[in-house]
Structure formats: C-alpha cells, structure tokens
Amino acid sequence: MKQTWRWFGPDDPVTLAHARQAGADGIVTALHHLNDGRAWPADEIAARKAEIEAAGMNWDVVESVIVHEDIKTRTGDFRALIDNYKASLRALGAAGVSTVCYNFMAITDWTRTDLDWPLPRGGTALRFDIVEFCAYDVLVLERPGAEADHPAERIEAARRRLTVMSEGDQARLEKNLIGWVPAREFVFDRASFRRALDRYRDLTADGLRQNLLSFLAEIVPAAEEAGVRLAIHPDDPPFPLFGLPRVVSSAGDARAILAAQESPANGLTLCTGSYGAGAHNDLPAMAKEFAGRIHFAHLRNTSREPDGSFYEAEHLDGDTDMVAVVSALLDEEHRRKAAGRADREIPMRSDHGHALIDDVGHGKSPGYTWIGRLKGLAELRGVMRALERPGMEP
C-alpha cells in the first residue's frame, strides 16, 4: 500500500519534512483556505501540488472537498454548490490528483469528548465518553428531544457526572464537542450550534440517505469523466449524535452506496477506526467484501466499552484485527496488479496518533501529532512487510 500522511497545509506545525521523515511517500491534504463550497481554481491546485512535489512526495489524496450543509439538506444554494463541486473534481483530475475522500456527516466531523485522555504508559489519546456526551446533550445544550435519545440510566449517570465537573471541565467539554474540528475555518458557540441543528429538525435518516444518493447521481458521472475516484468516509462515531441522522455507519450503508452508482469512481474510504467504534461492524469482513471499491484506507484502532464509549487505541491493539485488515487490502492489491488496474496501489495513512514525547504541548492538532502518527505508520509498515513474505498471511 502507498504510505501517505495527512497534512493541513503551510500552517500545519507538522511539516512536509516531518511527513517525509516519518516514511510517507504521499500526502493527503486539501485547499483548506478555500474549502467553503467554492470551486477550486486550477492555479491553486497546481501551486499546492508543486509544493508537495518539491518536498519529495506526491499529492495522492484530497481530504476533503467539503460537502456543504446546503447539499446535505438540499436547501439554499445546493444547486450552485454541486456545480462548484463538479468543477473542483474536474480541476483536480486535470492536475493528476485522482482520489477524493469526502464525508456526508451532518454538521459535525469526527466527535470526541476528550482530546487529551491520559494513557497508562504516558501520552494521551482521543476518547468518546458516552456519559459525558449525554451530560452535554441533555443537561447543558438542552437540545429539544435529547432525553428520548438516551436511556434513563445514562441520563442519571450524566447528572451525577455533571455535579463533579467544574465550570472549566464543562467549558472544555463544550469546546471539544462543538467548538473544535480540524481544518475548519469557523467554530460554533452554543447558540449557533442550536441553529445548525434546527436545519436538520425535519430531516430523517431516510431523507438524508436520499440526499446522499441524489448527490452521488450527479457527481459520480462528473468524477468518472474527470478520472477521479471518490471515496466516502464513514460517520465518526458510527451512531447518531445530537439527534442527527447517520447514513454511512455500517456495512449495509456501504453496500447501498456502492449499489446506487456501480461506477468504479464511486468507492469507499475504509476507516477502521470510524467503522470500528461500532460493535456491529466486522472490519476484516468489510475489507474483504468491499476490497474492489476501497480507494483509500485510514488505519487506526479503537477500544470499545460496553456502554458505547471508546478511545483511540494503539494502531495494532484495540478491537479491530488490524493484521487481518491489512492482509485483505494487500490481497486486493495483488488482484489489481494481476488485472492490470492502474489503481493497483491503495493509499493508506496512520490516523489519530497518540500525543507522545515532543508532541505534548507543541501546538499539534489533537489526533494529528507527529510522533504518535510516525509510531503508528512504522507499526503498520512492519505488518505490511511481514505479510508480503511468503507464508506469513494470518
């Protein structure tokens, strides 16, 4: 697999030189300063591509061309925004950037209650605590209808938890849940977040799913024409939050998305952490079933708890059999090579690294540390190297 690295552009404290030293050959990035729904100009794409190539790597994956909320709800300027999306795909394809990761999560990106959860051996990880989330959703945000989305025992546990949280703890929780998302130019406060939620008040999961399929019906042909492979990223976590519908959370969801547009341009990002946070998902089985349409892989691991909480585990620990997943992806690469496919190499990246040693206190975005991701990438590289030896498959 092609070893890649997510980079947030020139302002990222983890530089292209850091990525190269970590062993990456490819870069995963976007034009974050233009990622608000406008069409990406060819000269901006060319400049970013040249910057990456000057550092000795290739721009292998765009993560992401943002899907505007108007598109997800099919309101407002959604028609013009879809046209802009098509224009960006054409410009990327013309520049030779041929894989685009995107998501269809309503309002939120990946969501965690704790961005600095202490690990037993030192360092910190990302964590989602279902009780703390409930405390914010029901008792702080006071979202209408929230109590119906949580069992009574969880709400009672949330009330107890809130009594021992200081004002600072509550402010931190709110910032983590609604005020911080990587590579977003704006942040929500409580009032603006409530307004954003209100846009989805009458949109059911079936409605959001239909909006996704309508979007695919328009952009997949444009991607195919541009020579671009689309790779939808799953919901993170893979269950509803804040009453918002989720439509990319299971093998069944992935199956429906791929069946809706049978084009090779319509594919998946296999994020083992996002899917893996749900006990209903069998990642080795999904890697095998969807192998031919997996265009990108985020390889990370999570450890689940019985109540639905989870934290970001070591890349080779946690609840997902990472060796089995990597084996399935390498098998698919061998099939593609035998078939003469141009996309025989699947780009992958380590993801959501722990904050370790010099990562701590150096301004690196939570989950996008240097040493933590370097460690994860090195471990995954070792797995790949071992599996590529005859007789070493699990």
Domains and CATH numbers, the chain: 2-109+201-387 (3.20.20.150), 114-197 (no CATH)
Preceding omega of 309 cis (within 30 degrees of 0): no
Per-residue pLDDT, averaged over 132-139, amounts to 98
pTM of the model: 0.95
Return the higher-pLDDT residue of 127 and 390.
Answer: 127
32 catalytically annotated: no
pLDDT at 182: 63
The active-site residue out of 68, 315, 352, 354 is 352
The active-site residue out of 200, 271, 275, 315 is 271
The active-site residue out of 68, 150, 298, 354 is 298
The active-site residue out of 150, 233, 295, 315 is 233
pLDDT at 183 over 70: no
298 catalytically annotated: yes
pLDDT at 255 over 70: yes
18 catalytically annotated: no
pLDDT at 352 over 50: yes
DSSP H helices in the chain: 16-21, 42-54, 69-73, 78-94, 130-134, 152-163, 167-174, 190-198, 205-226, 251-260, 272-276, 283-289, 322-339, 371-387
Angle ∠(214,39,92) on CA atoms, nearest 5: 90
Query: Given pLDDT bands bounded at 50, 70 and 90, which one contains residue 173?
Result: very high
pLDDT at 184: 60
pLDDT at 244 over 90: yes
pLDDT at 19: 97
pLDDT at 128 over 70: yes
Query: Given pLDDT bands bounded at 50, 70 and 90, which one contains residue 326?
Result: very high
By mean pLDDT, which of 46-60, 106-120, 356-370 is the weakest?
Answer: 356-370
Q: Average pLDDT, whole number, for the chain?
A: 95
Convert the pLDDT of each residue in 210-227 to its tens digit. Answer: 999 999 999 999 999 999
Convert the pLDDT of each residue in 92-106 to its tens digit. Answer: 999 999 999 999 999
pLDDT at 185: 59
Which H/E stretch holds residue 268?
strand 266-271
Convert the pLDDT of each residue in 355-376 to its tens digit. Answer: 999 888 776 789 999 999 999 9
Query: Given pLDDT bands bounded at 50, 70 and 90, which one contains residue 264?
Result: very high
pLDDT at 394: 45
**Can you tell me the distance from the alpha carbon of 22 to that of 4, in angstroms, rounded to the nearest whole number?**
10
317 catalytically annotated: no
351 catalytically annotated: yes
